[in-house]
Amino acid sequence: MKKSEIKPLFILTVIAILIIGLMLIIRSNNAKKSAQNEQSSEENTVEEKYVQVLNDGTKLNDSEKLNKDRSFEGQSDIELSNIQLTSKDGITNLLCDVKNNSSTPLKLQEVYVILRDENGNEIDRIPSILEDIQPGETKQFSTFVTADYANAYDFTMIKK
């Protein structure tokens, strides 16, 4: 080979080695990042024992304790039923029917919905309004909070 042919061949060989080296370094970094992300997501995964995830991503609470009919503040004549706790996009919503089985109207009042964990510890206290409900009447109650509490175990509703 002539001296003039060796120089371009040498340059091409050096460039090819540099490209292969860069590709190996990038591949190694991507593998490390992927392993770190996988480990991080495993650490951040919290078991949601009382949650069923629906097709649209909505989390539906399926705790038997939370979904059980109950009375308001121990008043057996004010019944909470058809209870549903859901969470989507970081917003938790509690819906239920409130029936006034008494002979007197239930007046508009401020209430707290207290979400509890399995041990009875308070997770959050959500302020809300309970509308006027006439004797024999049923109204739907709804309250929400901007947090994901879909995995709550139970709740109580008390006067504010």
Give CA torsion, residues 44, 48, 53, 59, to 10 deg. Answer: -90
If one counts the domains in the chain, the total is 2
Sign of torsion, CA 48 55 65 158?
positive
- Considering the entire predicted model, what is its pTM? 0.70
**Residue 94 shares a structural domain with residue 24:** no
Q: Between the ranges 3-7, 17-21, 34-38, 92-96, where is the mean pLDDT highest?
A: 92-96
83 and 8 part of one domain: no
Instruction: Go through 57-74 and write b for each residue having 16 or more CB atoms within 10 A of its CB, e for each that does not.
Output: eebbbebeebbeebebee
**Are 100 and 121 within 8 A, CB to CB?**
no
Amino acid letter, residue 28: S
pLDDT digits (tens, 9 = 90+) for 87-132: 999 999 999 999 999 999 999 999 999 999 999 999 999 999 999 9
Alpha carbons 138 and 38: distance in angstroms, whole number = 49
Alpha-carbon distance of 154 to 160, in angstroms, equals 19
Residue reference for tokens 């929400």: 144
Partnered with residue 159 across adjacent β-strands are: 111
Residue-level pLDDT at 5:
66
For residue 151, the domain's CATH number is: 2.60.40
Q: What is the per-residue pLDDT for 99?
A: 96
Residues 71, 14 within the same domain: no
Q: Are residues 76 and 6 in the same domain?
A: no
Are both 80 and 34 inside the same structural domain?
Answer: no
Claim to verify: residue 131 and residue 58 sit in the same structural domain: yes
Query: How many whole angstroms separate alpha carbon 103 and alpha carbon 29?
Result: 72
What is the distance between the alpha carbons of residues 69 and 86, in angstroms, rounded to a whole number?
17
Structural domain containing residue 8: 1-45
Question: Per residue in 46-102, pLDDT tens?
Answer: 678 999 999 999 999 999 999 999 999 878 899 999 999 999 999 999 999 999 999
Tell me the pLDDT band of 16, cut-offs 50, 70 and 90: confident
